[in-house]
Amino acid sequence: MKFFVDTAVIEEIAELNDLGMVDGVTTNPSLILKSGRDIIEVITEICALVEGPVSAEVVATKADDMIAEGRKLAAIAPNIAVKVPLTWDGLKACKVLSGEGKMVNVTLCFSANQALLAAKAGATFISPFIGRLDDINLDGLQLIADIREIYDNYGYETQILAASIRSANHMSECARIGADVATAPPSVIKAMANHILTDKGLQQFLADWAKTGQSIA
């Protein structure tokens, strides 16, 4: 499973990228706001840092305007994935932009039917928001499984990009189910390394080592 990091903060991306933990980046208007940066400026910098797809989201709501914004964003760098919402106008924009050879990430997906439409419109990525489904007592991980089954049934090439990841458990479950990509905040990716038995084992090793009175350095 590929890891995309869900942030627009350059320092966070660079740290994970140096460890080989970044296969791509996703951004959205909320993350751009949090970064405090100009969208074109920060997206340009991210694209220069990361080789994989970098999702940059349109903010228009009408298809023609989305297409215009998508073309402007795609012109930033060849690894831009234009992010459009899963609305009827968003699907229209996806069809046009994907037909022009641009990568398109269709976001805010909450049902298997929506995912099926996105695949037929030529989406490169479909972004089901599993955490937001969990928030309203629906099973976000089941949606990933449903989309996986449908796409495999018919050979759709659209990649399942699990989004709205809230925990390290979400990451492992998405990998188990067969999501192609998971995008998560840096804190969640780092949390995947944590385990209480690792911490306890390390404490014991260090305590025993101190008793030897030895030094490796």
Nearest residue to 128 (alpha-carbon basis) of 185, 182, 62, 91: 182
Task: Give yes or no for a contact between 51 and 72, defined as CB atoms under 8 angstroms apart.
Answer: no
Q: What is the sign, positive or negative, of the torsion defined by CA atoms of 33, 37, 40, 43?
A: negative
Residue 83 annotated in active site = yes
Q: For the purposes of burial, counting CB atoms within 10 Å of the CB of 46, is it exposed (0-12), middle (13-18) or buried (19 or more)?
A: buried
Tell me which of 2, 72, 83, 200 is the catalytic residue: 83
Residue 90 has a CB neighbour count (10 Å cut-off) of: 26
Return the active site residues. Answer: 83
